[in-house]
């Protein structure tokens, strides 16, 4: 047996004859980019076909023209003189092409398949925008991503440095055939800063980001303690003034209240002065209405039965005695007015 026969037998034993390779078997591409698969055939072959998600999209003969169902699919030999390698390309990929990609070589070669993944980037935005905050105040920022597939990996940067994941929390939710995400960052403002939210996919060369500027203003002085101290001293002073005012008013009132002994003495002096103002010898009395002047005709005494009496009429002025100074009682006890006599005549005619 010659050497060529031994080589052929060895190739059959190892399964190389009638076999081909396809790579990559799992490929991820960003939407809008091109996806390329290579098929390498070991041995002679005549026709190769490519299918995407079960649909035949391209036929490649070893000799002749390549036919394609769309300009979005193309194939070519890896090199001009080497027909054992074919490069299949999907242009401007979309999520419609995501799935199984199958290469079949007619004859004893069979088929090989690979999986195509198409990722889609959406938008990213920090909801709050630029902010002005007080120093040492806690800041909360919300980063929202829309229409991503799959959901992105969200991270934060502060002044160009990565933020520890313990300071933010991210959630994801499916929305139709895409994902929306929300990430909340909380930290304490110390100085003016630039905060960036980054969303990353496997196929992105650089993450998509949104950034805001944080302006930190000094915290105003805390007057709480000073106000509390001032209010305390002010309240105490007000209470002291109030007590002092009450004591002062009470003393003034007591000073203005007349002393009982002084008041009674004053009354006695007043009465004594009033009594001393009357002219000496002047008496009080009543006018006798029965007095008849000389020459006036009167009834004879024998014709009349005189019944006259003197009825003393006494008017007195009573003064409250002074229980304190009993020596004034004799001066105030009674002040009597002059008493007059009334004369009554009764006449009886026979």
Domain finish residue from 78, 101, 119: 119
Distance from chain centroid for Cα 113: 60
- The reported pLDDT for the residue numbered 60 is 94
* Residue 143 and residue 176 share a domain: yes
| Three-state secondary structure call for residue 151 | coil
Rounded Cα gap, residues 51 and 327, in angstroms: 146
- The reported pLDDT for the residue numbered 94 is 95
Rounded Cα gap, residues 271 and 154, in angstroms: 110
| Three-state secondary structure call for residue 233 | helix
Which of the four pLDDT bands, split at 50, 70 and 90, describes residue 327? very low
* Residue 192 and residue 140 share a domain: yes
* 226 or 292, greater pLDDT: 226
Burial class (CB within 10 angstroms; exposed 0-12, middle 13-18, buried 19+) of 243: exposed
Closest CA to 148 of 49, 45, 240, 30: 30
Domain finish residue from 172, 202, 217: 217
Rounded Cα gap, residues 235 and 219, in angstroms: 29
Mean pLDDT of the chain: 78
- Per-residue pLDDT averaged across 282-302, rounded? 48
User: What is the pTM assigned to this prediction?
Assistant: 0.58
Which of the four pLDDT bands, split at 50, 70 and 90, describes residue 239? confident
Whether the pLDDT of residue 161 is over 90: the answer is yes
**Residue 160 in domain:** yes
Closest CA to 207 of 196, 216, 218: 196
- The reported pLDDT for the residue numbered 5 is 40
* Residue 148 and residue 111 share a domain: no
Domain finish residue from 92, 119, 146: 119
What CATH number corresponds to the domain at position 92?
2.60.40.10
Helix (H) or strand (E) holding 78: strand 73-79
* Residue 130 and residue 42 share a domain: no
- The reported pLDDT for the residue numbered 254 is 73
Range of the domain at 36: 15-119
| Three-state secondary structure call for residue 230 | helix
- The reported pLDDT for the residue numbered 104 is 96
Residue 209 token pair: 């980001």
**Residue 262 in domain:** no
Judged by average pLDDT, the poorest of 12-26, 127-141, 202-216 is 12-26
- The reported pLDDT for the residue numbered 289 is 52
- The reported pLDDT for the residue numbered 36 is 97
DSSP string, 254-291: HHHSPPHHHHHHHHHHHHHHHHHTSPTT-------TT-
Rounded Cα gap, residues 108 and 50, in angstroms: 17
Rounded Cα gap, residues 81 and 45, in angstroms: 15
């Amino acid at each position: 047996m010659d050497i060529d026969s031994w080589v052929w037998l060895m190739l059959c034993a190892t399964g190389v004859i009638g076999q081909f390779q396809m790579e990559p078997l799992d490929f991820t591409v960003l939407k809008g980019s091109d996806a390329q698969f290579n098929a390498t055939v070991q041995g002679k072959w005549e026709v190769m076909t490519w299918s995407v998600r079960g649909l035949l999209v391209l036929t490649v003969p070893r000799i002749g023209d390549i036919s394609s169902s769309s300009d979005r699919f193309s194939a070519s030999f890896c090199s001009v003189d080497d027909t054992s390698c074919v490069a299949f390309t999907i242009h401007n990929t979309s999520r419609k092409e995501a799935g199984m990609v199958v290469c079949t070589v007619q004859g004893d070669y069979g088929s090989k398949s690979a999986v195509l993944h198409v990722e889609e980037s959406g938008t990213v935005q920090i909801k709050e925008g630029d902010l002005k905050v007080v120093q040492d105040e806690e800041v909360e920022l919300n980063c929202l991503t829309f229409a991503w597939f799959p959901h992105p990996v969200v991270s934060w940067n502060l002044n160009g440095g990565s933020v520890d994941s313990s300071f933010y929390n991210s959630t994801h939710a499916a929305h139709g055939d895409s994902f929306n995400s929300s990430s909340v960052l909380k930290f304490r403002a110390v100085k003016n800063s630039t905060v960036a939210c980054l969303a990353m996919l496997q196929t992105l060369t650089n993450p998509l980001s949104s950034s805001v500027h944080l302006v930190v203003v000094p915290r105003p002085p805390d007057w709480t303690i000073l106000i509390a101290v001032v209010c305390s001293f002010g309240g105490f002073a007000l209470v002291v003034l109030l007590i002092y005012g009450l004591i002062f008013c009470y003393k003034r009132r007591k000073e203005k209240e007349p002393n009982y002994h002084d008041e009674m003495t004053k009354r006695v002096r007043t009465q004594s002065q009033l009594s001393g103002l009357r002219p000496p010898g002047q008496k009080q009395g009543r006018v006798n209405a029965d007095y008849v002047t000389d020459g006036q005709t009167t009834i004879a005494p024998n014709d009349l039965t005189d019944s006259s009496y003197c009825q003393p009429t006494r008017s007195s002025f009573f003064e409250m005695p002074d229980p304190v100074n009993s020596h004034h009682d004799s001066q105030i006890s009674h002040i009597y007015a002059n008493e007059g006599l009334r004369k009554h005549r009764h006449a009886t005619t026979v």
